[in-house]
Amino acid sequence: MKSLERLKVNIREGDVPFFTDEELVLILEEAGFDLRRASYMALIRKAENDGVRLPSGLTVSGNRDYWLSLARQYRPGLGRVLVRKDG
């Protein structure tokens, strides 16, 4: 599976389209074609506050928590061994 297609699967782009293919390619490039890092970056962008406050005062909450929970799966630095620098 190509990186772009895999990225789309990781970020649930088929269910909730948000990015153009060109935007996703730019995210992949920005992430150095590291699929996990690109997935994290895209999901964080999807998590931007998308709630709506209507003129009537009613607030419709967005899906921020959902996207952030998915982003945690791809957060950089997880599973790596940390090396002490002080000794």
Evaluate if residue 62 carries a pLDDT over 90: no
Evaluate if residue 31 carries a pLDDT over 90: yes
pLDDT at 44: 96
Closest CA to 44 of 14, 21, 66: 66
Per the prediction, the chain carries an average pLDDT of 88
- Model's pTM, two decimal places? 0.78
Q: What stretches of 1-87 adopt beta strand conformation (E)?
A: 52-53, 59-60
Closest CA to 42 of 65, 15, 75: 75
Tell me the percentage of the chain whose pLDDT exceeds 90: 66
Q: How far apart are the first and last CA of the chain?
A: 44
pLDDT at 46: 93
pLDDT at 57: 83
pLDDT at 84: 73
